A and B are shown apart, each in its own frame.
Chain A
Amino acid sequence: MYEILKKEELSPNVYAMEIDAPRVAKKAEPGQFIILRVDEEGERIPLTIADFNRETGRILIVFQVIGASTMKLAAMEVGDSLRDFVGPLGHPSEIRKLDGTMVVVGGGIGVAPTYPIARAMHEAGNKVIAIMGAKTKDILIMEEEMRQVTDEVLVTTDDGSYGIKGFVTNAVEELVRRGEKIAQVTAIGPVIMMKSVADATRPHAIPTVVSLNPIMVDGTGMCGGCRVTVGGETKFACVDGPEFDGHAVDFKGLMSRQRMYRDLEAEEKEHVCRIGLGRK
């Protein structure tokens, strides 16, 4: 069992939790993910690691309440324990000194997993710029943390309530326009956002990494549910990724598969609400 040591609501329906998982924390690297199960009947939920601390043995996860399983997770409190917490899974991000600026782009809760990547790239001696996108100012997460590990932070909000009005791609284009010598972009967020970022960097031939979190069951290469076409080849996000060349990923196929269980998810959420599991 894996105890919840800290819980914070970052914005409505978005939670951060610190989990006591020393053996995972010992091996975790930026870019990797974990899979958790709330209880014996629970789904296996994959989440990209938002932070880790080898000394305290803690892993930070950030998640948004979307379906029944995340609703149950959000209903857990400090002192409660998760049934399963497996990781670290997937290949770590490549951390190295670049010839130019590193730009991390995070959209929504995708900001969280860009944080350890930004930190590690900064520690590796790179100039790091973070672009953080949110629908509106109130739901922007981890801004302070991000400022501490980067050279510059650009915020975009869809409604213009904070920072640049528009999408993260506007900020990427802004950097290109001002002549920033970008050596790499790593974008994490909704699939449509990652696709847009890849489309924005393609004409400038800026190497662009995206981190995929598709439908997945085991996370160890077994189910093939997380398959994605990359450069015409079938790859599994869990063992070949989760990071891939954003210019080679077939986003269209990925987006349609993400919707596969939408109706069943609604049914399950209804079930969880009815039997009161999601209540605090």
Chain B
Amino acid sequence: MALSLKKHPMPVQAPEVRAHNFEEVALGYDEETAVAEAERCLHCKVPQCRKGCPVSVDIPAFIAKIKERDYDGAIAKIKETNSLPAVCGRVCPQENQCEKYCILAKKGEAVGIGRLERFAADRAMAEETEAAPVQAAPNAQRVAVIGSGPSGLSCAGDLAKRGYKVTIFEALHKAGGVLSYGIPEFRLPKDQVVQKEIENIERLGVTIETDAVAGRLYTVDELLGEEGFDAVFIGTGAGLPRFQGIPGEDLSGVYSANEFLTRCNLMKAYRFPEYATPIKVGETAAIVGGGNVAMDAARTALRLGAKKVYIVYRRSEAELPARAEEVAHAKEEGIDFRLLTNPVAIEGDENGWVTSLRCICMELGEPDASGRRRPIPIEGSEFTLPVDTVIVAIGTGPNPIIAQTTPGLETTKRGNIAADEETGKTSKEGVFAGGDIVTGAATVILAMGAGRKAAAAIDAYLTEKRAKKG
């Protein structure tokens, strides 16, 4: 059989249908498609794909298992290093990671590694072949993990596997961090995927305390002191939304993407009034920004009934930080991209409601510090976009609560926690940190990688601590 240069396409809901529902867009491979896609893997002697994976999944090995139709074997292989495969198979930017290094990508399309990972994970979930619950030994050392997002879950999962007694403290009423409040249902189903992955982590013996705002309820010092933990991992993420600081951001109808998505995803405002949290999206919405969060907000606005949705981004298509797949999905659904356009003011009516977004056209100049060509306003090019909703998705900063309440914990100029990239070690003994709270907003998988590295470092630290005691 001749080797296909193309990936097996992912079956998806038709754009005109999915633009009006919150069901998952990508439907997943069936068994035959998955095996056929697995057949495309060449099993390179020195597999390059693995070096692109922040959690070092043994990619050729799990793909080989799928080829053999040994699906239990496939998921077991993945889970050796990845605590959240059903999540990663859906939201990892594989094109910049594993698939980027796939040898097939040189001539055609890479093996659909992410799609195969999702297939293996979904199949295991459907068959409930998950492992039986385990519990740490009663005398095991205890680790407190602050935040139940990707870095916290991954760190907790790894530590539990190493025999530690782990408690995760989550500020919200639901675990998952950005997986629960941020990424929409149509990209990452909450009950069938996120909740199940979290239950799998709990089966490893991890306890999750929700409604527990670490820093306020227990400070880091109290966790290490009277609460009796031997080490603390901070994975509080980059949750603080940024605004542009332009006039009109106070108007009704202006949301941060975080608020908009939290209302919809975590609070289920899309099922209002059955769920009590309201959300407002009018006829026309403008989303400011060009990242994955902007795409999520735009597609959510559409599904909530907006007739016209704009993405307003100050650079050009080539610089859009969102994944190509997300941009393509958004375009198929009819999102209108206003590129090289930057808002200068939000305008409102006498009742304080948004009526329009005042914008200016941009052109690209010389590359800036980020290496991307700097957008420069074109004088006299201002124009008005009539909208009744503005969603600001220009990035987030670090959550300040832990830094505010933990003396001796060094932070960077930008307010991130200063931690060693390889170990997550902070300036405070026994305290480790990783994920967006250290790096600034990045991806789910990079945060998971940081959680994993910190788990290894915490293991080393606690082993030494034990030895000293013994």
- Which positions in A face B, CB cutoff 8 Å? 23-24, 27, 37, 41-44, 68-69, 72, 83-89, 217-218, 220-225, 227-229, 234, 236, 239, 250, 253-254, 256-257, 259-261, 264-265, 267-268, 271-272
Q: Give A236's nearest chain B residue, CB to CB.
A: B240
Q: Which residues of A contact B400 (CB under 8 A)?
A: 221, 239
Contact B262 A220 (CB under 8 A): no
* Separation of A70 and B399 alpha carbons in the complex (Å): 29
Q: How far is it, in angstroms, between the C-alpha of A68 and the C-alpha of B251 when the chains are bound? A: 24
Report which of B249, B277, B351 forms a contact with A227, defined as CB distance below 8 A: B249
Cβ contacts under 8 Å, B172 to chain A: 218, 220
A69-B401 CB under 8 A given contacts A220-B213, A222-B258: no
- Report the bound CA distance from A234 to B262 in whole Å: 20
B181 within 8 A of A: yes
- Do the beta carbons of B171 and A256 come within 8 Å of each other? no
Is there contact, CB below 8 Å, between A267 and B213?
Answer: no
| CB pair A43 B277 closer than 8 Å | yes
Question: In this assembly, does B160 line the interface, its C-beta being within 8 Å of a C-beta of chain A?
Answer: no
B contact residues around A239 at 8 Å (CB): 240, 399-401, 404
The answer, among A221, A259, A268, for a CB contact under 8 Å with B240, is A221
A19: min CB distance to chain B, Å? 12
B273 touches A87 (CB 8 A): no
Interface residue from B275, B277, B399 paired with A217 (Cβ < 8 Å): B277
A224 to B273 Cα, complex, angstroms? 23
Whether B243 and A83, one on each chain, are in contact in the complex, defined by CB atoms closer than 8 angstroms, is: no
CA distance A227 to B352 in the complex (A): 15
Expressed in whole angstroms, the Cα–Cα distance for A86 and B352 within the complex equals 32
A256 touches B252 (CB 8 A): yes
> 1/0 contact trace for B237-269 toward A, CB 8 Å?
001110101000111110110110011001110
Number of contacting residues on B, CB 8 A? 43
Measured between C-beta atoms, what is the minimum distance from A208 to chain B in Å? 21
Q: Which of A86, A225, A259, A272 contacts B259 (CB 8 A)?
A: A225
- Interface: B280 (CB within 8 A): yes
B43 at the interface (CB under 8 A from A): no
Q: Is B422 part of the binding interface, using a Cβ–Cβ cutoff of 8 Å?
A: no
Residue B272 CB within 8 A of the other chain:
yes
Which residue in chain B gives the minimum CB-CB distance to A216? B259
B239 touches A221 (CB 8 A): yes
User: How far in angstroms is the closest Cβ of chain B from A89?
Assistant: 6
B51 within 8 A of A: no
A223 to B275, CA, bound (A): 18
Given known A-B contacts A85-B211, A217-B267, A256 and B239 have beta carbons under 8 A apart: no
Inter-chain CB contacts under 8 Å: number: 131
Given contacts A41-B268, A223-B262, list 14 more A-B pairs with CB under 8 A.
Answer: A37-B173, A43-B267, A86-B211, A88-B216, A89-B213, A218-B172, A220-B239, A222-B399, A228-B250, A239-B401, A256-B351, A260-B280, A261-B280, A268-B273
Q: Do most interface residues of chain B lie in helix, strand or loop, or is the interface mixed?
A: loop
- On whether the beta carbons of A227 and B278 are closer than 8 Å, the reply is no
- Cα–Cα distance between A225 and B262 once the two chains are bound (Å): 11
Pick the residue among A41, A220, A223, A253 that contacts B401 (CB under 8 A).
A220
12 intermolecular pairs with C-beta atoms under 8 Å apart: A41-B268, A86-B173, A217-B263, A218-B172, A220-B213, A223-B241, A224-B241, A227-B243, A229-B250, A264-B273, A264-B280, A267-B273
- Given A24-B217, A218-B262, A250-B250, the answer on whether A223 and B278 have CB atoms closer than 8 Å is no
Shortest distance between the CB of B15 and any CB in chain A (Å): 29
- Alpha-carbon distance between A223 and B404 when the two chains are bound, in angstroms: 19
CA distance A41 to B278 in the complex (A): 12
Report how far A80 CA is from B217 CA in the complex, Å. Answer: 24
Q: How far is the CA of A28 from the CA of B108 in the complex (A)?
A: 61
Q: How far is the CA of A253 from the CA of B254 in the complex (A)?
A: 12
Q: In the complex, are the beta carbons of B173 and A223 less than 8 A apart?
A: no
Whether the pair B258, A223 counts as a contact (CB closer than 8 A) is yes
Once bound together, how far apart are the Cα atoms of A85 and B213, in whole Å?
11
Which of A218, A221, A265 has a CB less than 8 Å from the CB of B278? A265
Q: Does B274 contact A (CB under 8 A)?
A: yes
Asked whether, in the complex, the Cβ of A223 is within 8 Å of the Cβ of B252, the reply is: no
A87-B256 in contact (CB<8A): no
Shortest CB–CB separation between residue A276 and chain B, in angstroms?
14
A255 → chain B closest CB, angstroms: 8
Contacts of B266 in A (CB 8 A): 217
B217–A217 CB distance below 8 A = no
What is the bound-complex CA distance between A253 and B249, given in angstroms? 9
CB–CB B213/A86 < 8 A: yes
CB of B276 closer than 8 Å to a CB of A: yes
Distance of B107 from chain A, by nearest CB (Å): 45
Judging by beta carbons under 8 Å apart, are B211 and A89 in contact?
Answer: no
